[in-house]
């Protein structure tokens, strides 16, 4: 599990703080995966997915408004990455999640952490490099 590190800083406080929050949500998912007390994690998994979806909507809107405010030329192509993320989050099959809950958490974490890592370090970094 990866967490926030200074390499992810864009230097735009609002966006950096929102990125930290995405890592925090992933951290809670990881904690849930490692939790051996809960026998049934389904409701908590669904809550995490919903929180990821809602927070991503909020964050992407903020980030896109920032890009618009600075006249970022690649805003539309950047928005495609955001839309793809949201589609993937919406596509998680709740029945499959219930069948193998820990595996579902692993799949969610794998997707989200890898996406955030690659997106921030490559696509988002381009915002502040222009």
Q: Helix H segments across the chain?
A: 13-34, 42-69, 75-90, 94-99, 101-118, 125-129
Average pLDDT value for the chain? 93
Name the 3-class secondary structure at 98: helix
CA distance 97 to 77: 31
What is the rounded average pLDDT of the residues 9-13? 95
Query: What is the second-level CATH architecture of the domain 10-129?
Result: Up-down Bundle (1.20)
Q: What is the pLDDT of residues 34-93, one digit of tens each?
A: 999 999 999 999 999 999 999 999 999 999 999 999 999 999 999 999 999 999 999 999
CA distance 77 to 26: 25
**Rounded to two decimals, what is the model's pTM?**
0.91
pLDDT at 129: 86
pLDDT at 118: 92
Is the confidence at residue 2, as pLDDT, over 90? no
Sorted by sequence, the CB contacts under 8 Å of residue 58 that are 6+ apart come out as: 18
pLDDT at 111: 92
């Amino acid at each position: 599990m990866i967490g926030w590190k200074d390499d992810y800083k864009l230097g735009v406080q609002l966006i950096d703080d929102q990125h930290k929050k995405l890592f925090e949500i992933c951290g809670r998912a990881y904690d849930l995966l490692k939790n051996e007390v809960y026998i049934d994690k389904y409701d908590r998994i669904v809550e995490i997915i919903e929180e990821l979806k809602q927070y991503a909507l909020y964050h992407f809107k903020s980030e896109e408004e920032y890009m618009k405010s600075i006249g970022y030329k690649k805003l539309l192509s950047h928005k495609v990455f955001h839309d793809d993320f949201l589609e993937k989050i919406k596509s998680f099959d709740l029945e499959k999640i219930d069948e193998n809950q820990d595996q579902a958490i692993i799949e969610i974490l794998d997707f989200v952490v890898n996406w955030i890592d690659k997106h921030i370090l490559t696509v988002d970094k381009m915002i502040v490099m222009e």
